[in-house]
Amino acid sequence: MTLDIAELVEAAKHSEKMGASEFCIVAAVKGPTQQLLDQVAEAVTAIQEEVDISISVSLGILTRDQARQLAKMGVPRYNHNFETAESFFPNVVTTHTWQERKDTLENVLAEGMEICCCGIIGLGESLEQRAEFATQLAEIQPHEVPMNFLDPRPGTRFADRPLVPQGEALRAVAAFHLAMPSTQLRFAGGTELALGDDGTEAGLMGGANAIIGGNYLTTFGRPMEKDRDAVDRVLDGGAKPGLSLNITPVGQKQNSGHGVLYDTIKSL
């Protein structure tokens, strides 16, 4: 895998122009090679020289030394999901273990970086396993938890799974908030399918305090204006003054080779 440094810099500039506070570099790999880490270091330096923006990274499974290298580059946050509860993980991922993911998160935390971590609700796990998942996340206390709800994709093993019912989705939001009251709980992929407009607002009142608006990394979301309206209605009601709106511009690259996520964050 080869990163296009110039393209990354331009993408970061675009994100800053859109009002971004953070730019995330994502590579679809099990874990980085030293060559990829060297390229990331070059990209981070190039972006920092030209753009006033925080840089987060997602490169898969890390050793302690690799986490240390990222920390020395000045990367403040690492994105790495558990995907699901440990007891259900073998039904979702077969190329590595849940413990390998936990080790990565612990390596990142040990090097002083923040972590963004969650997974997907609705893969076939039981309600007890969702509670297990929330508890396991709470043990590592991520700085941010993006809540994704399954958006069944054709050609995948989960293509025939039903959408998460709105009531179940809202209960999951409340449970995760109770397990991690000081963590930023952010609505992410599949929110518009599982919750809809009214459910999104209810979830913002009942536990979530942030939302990714517009498109996601591999799927299209709903119009960004709807997310803005939902946040505005909650704020106009006098609740949740700490909400933020995380906007991924329509021009992002869906499934791009190096996984650039044009990640725009607007604090409200």
**Alpha helices by DSSP H, 116-223:** 127-140, 166-179, 191-194, 196-206
> Could you tell me the pTM of the whole model?
0.82
- Tell me the CATH number of domain 5-267, given options 3.40.50.620, 2.120.10.30, 3.20.20.70, 3.30.70.20: 3.20.20.70
d(CA 111, CA 73): 12
Residue spans per domain, the chain: 5-267
d(CA 215, CA 238): 28
d(CA 56, CA 227): 23
Q: What is the CA radius of gyration of the chain?
A: 18
Per-residue confidence of the chain (268 residues) as pLDDT tens digits? 788 999 999 988 887 887 667 888 988 899 999 999 999 999 999 999 999 998 999 999 999 999 999 999 999 999 999 999 999 999 999 999 999 999 999 999 999 999 999 999 999 999 999 999 999 999 999 999 999 999 998 998 999 999 999 999 999 999 999 999 999 998 888 988 898 888 888 888 888 888 876 666 666 666 667 777 777 777 776 666 566 555 444 333 333 333 333 333 332 2
Q: CA dihedral defined by 250, 28, 179, 143, rounded to 10 degrees?
A: -70
DSSP state of 83: B
d(CA 28, CA 39): 15
Q: CA dihedral defined by 112, 242, 182, 261, rounded to 10 degrees?
A: -50
